Structure 1
Amino acid sequence: MAEGLFGVHAAALEVRAQRMGVLASNIANASTPNFKARDIDFKAALSAVEGQPGGVGADLGGAVKYRVPTNPSMDGNTVELTTEQTAFAENAVQYQTTLAFLNGRIGTLTRALKGE
């Protein structure tokens, strides 16, 4: 039902939320030896979420990839803090944009149901 009302946006919000967690984990582990930075392939993840009933909490499986560092560190950590912070900020803006769209859609539906 939610897919019909909100289209791809509900699935996109789920993927953005999961990506936020992955990027936050990368940032938190920036100084952990041998930590391997990961990211989510948005298109693959969106397809995975859309293909599962309910979508929420979907297993992204193959959409989670290890990031290849530009300058690998000597301790085996592949987190590049500026890359992660930039990706986190961009993802946060995209998340907020999707959320604003969904909030507008919900407002429209609420007004329609009230007969306004």
Structure 2
Amino acid sequence: MPINFDSAIGVHADALRVRSQRAELLASNMANADTPNYKAQDIDFKETLKNAMAGSSPSQLNTTNNKHYATNPESNGLMGPIQYRVATQDSLDGNSVDEEVEQAQFMQNAVQYQASLQFLGGKFSSMTRALKGE
């Protein structure tokens, strides 16, 4: 009986990809904390994970032939749409980044990324033991 790795490792591989993409957005927010008119960006993890598990992107059409043109050439490469964070207080330069909020979101995302890595590592070690017959 062949091993289906997608069902064996579950949602954790997709969760890692989405968490990684979210970390990039949050890091970009922190890097642009002093950039005038920069708007803080984020993605909805649950919606993006659902799209990743379904293997689709909300802004991408399915093609039936490899000669079809790309539907969204300026695609952001994310598995979900970018959302903009509402500013907690007004800024004179139009920047909506709150450094404390971004740092907290980044740390929470990092902890959840680490948890997904540990779950994924546990799945692989269980499969390895099963293949060895332990």
Residue in structure 1 matched with residue 79 of structure 2 by the alignment:
60
Name the residue aligned to 1:100. 118
Question: In 2, Cα distance between the equivalents of 1:49 and 1:19?
Answer: 13
User: Taking CA–CA contacts closer than 8 Å with sequence separation of 6 or more, which of the two structures ends up with the larger relative contact order?
Assistant: 2
State how many pairs are aligned: 111
- Runs (4+) of structure 1 moved beyond 4 Å? none
Q: Does 1:22 align with 2:40?
A: no
**Structure (1 or 2) with the larger CA radius of gyration:** 2
Runs of 5+ consecutive residues of structure 1 not aligned to the other structure: none
Shift in Å, 1:111? 1.3
Query: What is aligned with 2:36?
Result: 33
- For 2:12, the aligned partner's letter is H
User: What percentage of aligned pairs have identical amino acids?
Assistant: 52
1:81 corresponds to: 99
Counterpart CA distance in 1 for 2:53 and 2:133 is 31
Give me the TM-score of the superposition, normalised by structure 1.
0.89
- Higher helix share goes to which structure? 1
| Unaligned ranges ≥5, structure 2 | 57-76
List per-residue Cα deviations over 1:5-50 (Å, max 9, x = no partner). Answer: 1111211111111101100000011001111100110111011111
1:3 Cα offset (Å): 2.4
Give me the CA root mean square deviation: 1.4
Q: Distance in 2 between matches of 1:67 and 1:100?
A: 30
SS at match of 2:95: coil
- Whether contact under 8 Å (1:16, 1:91) holds in the other structure is yes
Residue from 47, 50, 59 that aligns with 1:47: 50
- Paired residue for 1:71? 89
Separation (CA, whole Å) in 2 of partners of 1:108 and 1:36: 44
